[in-house]
Structure 1
Amino acid sequence: MLTTFKEFRADCSRYFKKYSDPEEARANPPNALVGRDEDWHFLCDHYISRAFQEQSRTNKAARQKQPYNHSSGSKLFLQRQYKLAERKGEPVDRVELFRKTHVRAGTFVSQAAEDAHVSYALINYPLSLYIFARYLT
């Protein structure tokens, strides 16, 4: 339920941003809100409010400071680590957790994530390059 509502809110926000003029956006509600003008007007007022704009700027700046994204969604890393350890039957270290949370479809989400993974693994787990290369594949 929460995921569906969050997706709905995000869809409405993206729809609102398509319009350069807030009044034009207000006059053209998305299909999901046709006939529910009061709800759409409430959302439009929310999107143009000073508090929302400030929060949006703050969040945008925080996202830009992140050196790389992850592929875990909203699940906490500790939850992910616990589930992985439960599945494997043994503890999962930070290097393995980082790999599991920053790889999508067999590839790291960015070159920065891959570089961080390699450097952290080499610093914290002195392995021969041969063994480490085999670990990456």
Structure 2
Amino acid sequence: MKVTLISIPVQDQQKALQFYTEKLGFIIKKDAPLDGGNRWITLVSPEWQDGPELLLEPAPLHFEPSKIYQEALMKAGIPYTQFDVDNVEAEYERLIKLNVDFSVKPTEMGTLKFAVFNDTCGNNIQIVENL
């Protein structure tokens, strides 16, 4: 058994697509129309194109429990998910230059360094570097 798809709820698929590709650097793997004006959009890391796909899921628009959960995580400052990076400081500096809003600046905790940013689509995302 292996993980092939990770879903992240987004409030606006097009806005999320722009953020995740233009600012975070993911690349589009699949983009297919679905009923109701939604799309099946999956992204992959350019460094691991055969790795797990990130689905930009429009669930908060159509499923109230998803919206409530997403809003509760955001209000509590809890990241929805995490992305590993080689260097948190360098990624933080790169994203700051692209006007990405961080709620937690690079912070060391034990054997890792992390930072948390707002993906503009309803989620806090954590980046992590293993030290």
TM-score, normalised to structure 2, is 0.26
Higher relative contact order (CA 8 A, sep 6+): 2
Instruction: State TM-score, norm by structure 1.
Output: 0.25
The structure where strand makes up a greater share of residues is 2
